Amino acid sequence: MKFKMFAAAVAATAVAAPALAADLPSVEPVDYVQTCDAFGAGFFVLPGKDTCLRVSGRVRTELRMNNFADNGHWGGTNKSKDDMSFFARGYVRLDARTQTEMGLVRSYTSLS
């Protein structure tokens, strides 16, 4: 019974006329992210604003396996050293700059 249902589904799919790319309306590409070369590399313009923004950051991870190659004796007397430990740390920096009539306005934030 399942084979008949599968065959019917395949036949229905093959009979249906697929939409071809020529049938779809053409849409002009929109440039949402524009680079801001006034303040250096890595800045982009916020849409609808005169502000340039740079997002940067770093993530550090560390995995330690203690006594991993100790002939398979993981269950020793000192269990605090027969384990695995994981450590992760990171930060994100936001740098926003706007050129005004009175000069450059800069806002800097760092999140840890």
pLDDT at 1: 54
Domain residues for the domain of 47 are 22-111
| Reported confidence tier of residue 92, pLDDT bands at 50, 70, 90 | very high
Per-residue pLDDT of 47-90, as tens digits, reads 888 889 999 999 999 987 766 555 555 555 555 555 677 889 99
b/e sequence 1-38, b meaning 16+ C-beta within 10 Å: eeeeeeeeeeeeeeeeeeeeeeeeeeeeeeeeeeebee
Assess if residue 94 is contained within a domain. Answer: yes
Distance between CA 10 and CA 12 in Å, rounded?
Answer: 5
The per-residue pLDDT for 33 is 73
Does residue 40 fall inside a structural domain?
yes
More confident residue, 76 or 105: 105
Has this prediction a pTM greater than 0.75?
A: no
pLDDT tens, residue by residue, 6-25? 555 655 555 555 555 556 67
Total domains, the chain: 1
Tokens of 110: 């760092």
Could you tell me where the beta strands, DSSP code E, fall in 1-112?
A: 34-35, 44-45, 51-65, 84-100, 103-111
Please check whether residue 43 lies inside any domain of the structure. Answer: yes
pLDDT of residue 36: 86
Q: Identify the CA nearest to 63 among candidates 36, 93, 83, 39.
A: 83
Domain assignment present for 99: yes
12 part of a folded domain: no
Per-residue pLDDT tens for 26-51?
Answer: 777 666 778 888 888 889 988 888 88
- 14 occurs within a structural domain: no
